[in-house]
Amino acid sequence: MKITDLRCAVIANSPVVQIRTDEGITGWGQIETPKPYVKPQVLDLKDWIVGQDPRDVERVMRRIRVRGGFKPFGAAVSAIEHALWDIAGKALNTPTYRLLGGKVRDKVRTYRTLYQAEVPGGAPHTPDGYRKWAEYGKSLKGEFTLFKLPSAYHSSMVRDFPDYYYGEVQTDAPFPYPHKGTMTKEGFDHLVACITAAKEALGPGYNTAVDAGPGFMPIDALRLAKAVEHLHLMWLEDMITGDYVPYVNHDLYADITRHTTTPIHTGEQIYLRQNYKHLIESHAVNVVGPDPADVGGLAEIKWVAEHADLHGIAMAPHGTANGIIGLAALIQVCATMPDNLIAFEYPARFEPFWYDITEGFDGMPVKGGLIDVPDRPGLGINFIVKEAKKYLTEGDANFFD
């Protein structure tokens, strides 16, 4: 079997990767919704994989892995890797999880990042707003039992609360998280009050993680971790470095982790297993959250999970905007992970029509916060071409032809 073509089309802002073969088997991958600009990076890799056997996943990946980097520059490589595993599974008429070592669980737990803008009428960054956030979360279809709360520097709280921190509040910065600095006592107390309100409003049977940064100075990160110890949060995420930060401050994280019982989490921006090595082996955090659509693919995140497990570090894979194909990929690989898996982040940020233009999921598959691991070949997702064509832009009109 040989790869004959690599294509990429942007559907509803999300780049979709298609790999074709000379045996008529097609593999699919998907890139996060906020990254339509990655399409040219995908196409630049075409000449490096055409003519290769897609079932030799690692051999193909060695040809292109050097062309990736920390988020967002690992997305093209990662999506191609997903498509290769999809082809390999389809060629053997077996689900991808069997090729990754076999499943160790029949159901995979997923958590829901609930953005304040999703709450009807909005949920302001106040204790009352966070209580409203919690009540809406409990009403969501899927009966999620674990939620992640965007807050602090990972939200508009920096702009909404006067004098939140000692720094210039920016409204037009060209990068995702421009705010960083020391918090005022008033800002700090407000943050703790909001997180406490959300956790208490969720009540028994629900758990909470907080996506808080990047942007914290280490002293504030430690103060926050200690201030919320009694809440038994699942983790505090990316407080110092993280999302779209092209490096990892292992030593600063370690200074916090060793002085609090609140679990500390990071990792969604990291590309490749090698860049997790010191973070894990130094026990700098308690939880790592690689994204299979950024870290280099499914085999890569599986390696990170195994290495983390050897060092007593938990896994909570990222995936908020990975789309329906990314959801399928997360289910496959998380079915194979060791017992350090907590849950993966449900890709909630895609339009409902994706269920109508693909076959594989009969609507949103979460029940009681869990998803059954399917036995469909490959990643278990295929396009209904007639319906999917309706969502192609003019420049991608021939994507399925």
Amino acid at 180: K
pLDDT of residue 171: 87
Residue for token pair 């999620």: 144
At 147-168, the pLDDT tens digits run 999 999 999 999 999 999 999 9
Whole-model pTM over 0.85:
yes
CA 362 – CA 376 distance, rounded (Å)? 13
CA 279 – CA 183 distance, rounded (Å)? 26
At 112-135, the pLDDT tens digits run 999 999 999 999 999 999 999 999
**Any idea what DSSP says for residue 378?**
B
Q: How far is CA 54 from CA 24, 31, 155, 164, 341, in A?
A: 12, 19, 41, 52, 29
pLDDT of residue 175: 87
At 52-106, the pLDDT tens digits run 999 999 999 999 999 999 999 999 999 999 999 999 999 999 999 999 999 999 9
Return the closest-CA partner of residue 344 out of 108, 69, 166, 134.
Answer: 108
Can you list the domains of the chain with their CATH numbers?
A: 3-94+383-396 (3.30.390.10), 99-377 (3.20.20.120)
CA 338 – CA 310 distance, rounded (Å)? 10
pLDDT of residue 174: 85
CA 96 – CA 111 distance, rounded (Å)? 22
Return the closest-CA partner of residue 3 out of 37, 41, 35, 45.
Answer: 45
Are the C-beta atoms of residues 338 and 366 closer than 8 Å to each other?
A: no
For the residues 266-288, what does the mean pLDDT come to?
Answer: 98
Bridge partners, residue 211, by sequence: 150, 237
Are the C-beta atoms of residues 136 and 149 closer than 8 Å to each other?
A: no
Residue for token pair 């609090």: 260
At 13-27, the pLDDT tens digits run 999 999 999 999 999
Confidence band, pLDDT 50/70/90 cuts, at residue 1: very high
pLDDT at 319 over 90: yes
pLDDT of residue 150: 98
pLDDT of residue 173: 87
pLDDT of residue 339: 98
CA 213 – CA 14 distance, rounded (Å)? 24
Report the chain's mean pLDDT, rounded to a whole number.
97
pLDDT at 222 over 90: yes
Give the count of alpha carbons within 13 A of 363, CB side only: 3
Give the count of alpha carbons within 13 A of 77, CB side only: 25
Percent of the residues in the chain that have a pLDDT greater than 90, as a whole number: 98
At 37-47, the pLDDT tens digits run 999 999 999 99
Q: How far is CA 242 from the centre of its chain?
A: 12
CA 364 – CA 209 distance, rounded (Å)? 22
Burial (Cβ within 10 Å: 0-12, 13-18, ≥19) of residue 213? buried
pLDDT of residue 49: 98
Q: Of all residues in the chain, what percent are helix, strand and coil, respectively (each to 5)?
A: 40, 15, 45
CA 45 – CA 250 distance, rounded (Å)? 32
Are the C-beta atoms of residues 327 and 317 closer than 8 Å to each other?
A: no
Give the count of alpha carbons within 13 A of 347, CB side only: 26
Are the C-beta atoms of residues 309 and 101 closer than 8 Å to each other?
A: no
- E-state strands within 184-278: 207-211, 235-237, 264-266
pLDDT at 349 over 90: no
**Crossing angle for the helix pair 250-257 and 218-227, to the nearest 10 degrees:** 30
Return the closest-CA partner of residue 39 out of 49, 24, 29.
Answer: 29
